[in-house]
Amino acid sequence: MKQDAKDRVIIFDTTLRDGEQCPGASMGMSEKLQVAQQLARLRVDVIEAGFPIASPGDFEGVRAVAEQVKGPRIAGLARCIEKDILAAAEAVAPAGKRARIHVFLATSAIHRQFKLRKAKQEIVRQAVAGVELARSFVKDVQFSPEDAARTEPEFLAEVCRAVIAAGATTVNIPDTVGYAVPSEFADLISYLFDHVPELADVTVHVHCHNDLGMAVANSLAAVQAGARGIECTINGLGERAGNCSLEEVVMALRTRGDAFGGLWTGIETTELYRASRMVSQLTGMVVQRNKAVVGANAFAHESGIHQDGMLKERTTYEIMKPEDIGLTGTDLVLGKHSGRHAFRERIRAMGFRLTDVELERAFESFIELADKKKSVYDDDLIAIVQEQISEVPKVYLLDYLNVTTGTDTVPTATVRLKKDGSIYQDAACGDGPVDAAFKTIERITEEPGKVLDFSIQSVTKGKDAIGEVSLQVEYEQGTVAGKGSSTDIVEASAKAYLNSLNRYLFSRDQSDTTSAPPPKKRAAATKKRPAARKRK
């Protein structure tokens, strides 16, 4: 059946912007580029690459995506403030005609009164000025009235009319705090179409948050009411409870096209599972087993009745085929006898683009892992690649780890770290082997940290599976996430703690450079060494 262009739903992915704002989900430049390349293979229509004014790292990340990723439109977010828009314009410029500036300004009464402290007409003037300035740089300008779902419908309509007249080509209606319910949100979209005829000349998006668990439902209700763009993230990542889940909304439209009047997307759904795994591994954000579409249990059937029905006819208990999302069950298994060529081709097939140096280091890690376990699966390879593409300098490297523990033994860890060609060793006791390892690292580095969150998951199957540890550590100047993986969970924990520490030291050094503290003070800080034993 021929698909009507007017029924196409634009998929606007904001994994790299709103998704990265999920606590603990930050990504480095290389990680962002890997995700952006996968989003291009997924054939999303728009990639919101970041918030350029937020930090130099965000600016460079958006610019790198605009330079290197082909296919989708590349958007940069900006408040309706001149400096934001100038930064966004410069960051997305390399995308050429595919460049989009996404400006936003809060419109709800609660935001006007307590955050902006501006009257309605001031809001309209600032929104128009922001759109006009953005339009002077690019032809593709998107405007979002922040907290639209809690904005008075009459005023929201007034703002929409004004920004369209100023040159906005896309108007996005956000449910910023996940407050709406489907019927109410659909009514709001219908109201806007009825009272703002100009919306017929632009694309209307919705951006729903999941605070009440209704982001997907609200988004689908909105497109039924006439919206033709959904803003979403891989795995539903995002602030607080997250955003509308891309894989869920896409597969809902595909599976229940009958219920949605033939609405469709241009998404290559066979790339969904790969995208989900990549984002999960690179951010350290675990996908719950029972998550719709991409969870480990999504196509698992344990009940005898279900299994019997599946054996007789798959559609008795499966409304989607695993192959539709790229879950084939045919992982190419590598082993210690696999060569560089097979390894390189598998890495490329999985969507990663590594430099020759990164590829060689990854291959060495692969051979080391293959000596420890019989079979190496795709998720094992993602864990290996993850360690190679981080730009955070490895100030401290784990050189040796030994722990003693037992029911009648005080858990003790001996750790040896490398730093600047020197080796430092110490030992400490703890409540368990992991705690002992953390305390030893703290003794060696003299950088006290408090573990706020700790989780471990099996990357692949089998008793020799890689364990991946994700944690968040609070240091003197902030909280930093860390990730580490190994077939030994204590080693994985130590690697994750060091990853967090190295990230913290890197960000602190960057901050020190920016604020230019007195050289004497910085020298004293770097010169100070722990009492750990040092070896050359």
Domain CATH for 505:
3.30.160.270
The predicted structure's pLDDT at residue 97: 97
Judge whether 163 lies within some domain.
yes
39 and 142 in a common domain: yes
Cβ–Cβ < 8 Å for 247, 218: no
185 and 209 in a common domain: yes
pTM of the model: 0.81
Which band of pLDDT confidence, cut at 50, 70 and 90, is reported for residue 301? Answer: very low
348 and 435 in a common domain: no
- Backbone φ and ψ for 494, nearest 5 degrees, come out as -65, -40
Which band of pLDDT confidence, cut at 50, 70 and 90, is reported for residue 252? Answer: very high
| Total number of domains constituting the chain | 3
Phi-psi region for residue 113, left (φ > 0), alpha (ψ -120 to 50) or beta?
alpha
375 and 407 in a common domain: no
CA atoms within 13 A on the CB side of 158: 13
Using the predicted structure, report yes or no on whether residue 176 has a pLDDT greater than 80.
yes
Judge whether 151 lies within some domain.
yes
CATH number (domain holding residue 76): 3.20.20.70
Report pLDDT digits (tens) over 303-337. 454 445 545 566 676 788 889 998 865 455 677 67
Which band of pLDDT confidence, cut at 50, 70 and 90, is reported for residue 269? Answer: very high
Mean pLDDT score of the chain: 88
Using the predicted structure, report yes or no on whether residue 117 has a pLDDT greater than 90.
yes
The predicted structure's pLDDT at residue 271: 95
The mean-pLDDT minimum among 79-83, 308-312, 442-446, 461-465 falls in 308-312
Cβ–Cβ < 8 Å for 383, 466: yes
Q: Which domain holds residue 365?
A: 340-388
Report pLDDT digits (tens) over 17-39. 998 887 667 788 888 999 999 99
141 and 15 in a common domain: yes
Using the predicted structure, report yes or no on whether residue 369 has a pLDDT greater than 90.
no
The mean-pLDDT minimum among 97-111, 211-225, 239-253, 518-532 falls in 518-532
Residues found in the chain: 536
Give the Cβ contact number of residue 355 at 10 Å.
Answer: 11
208 and 91 in a common domain: yes
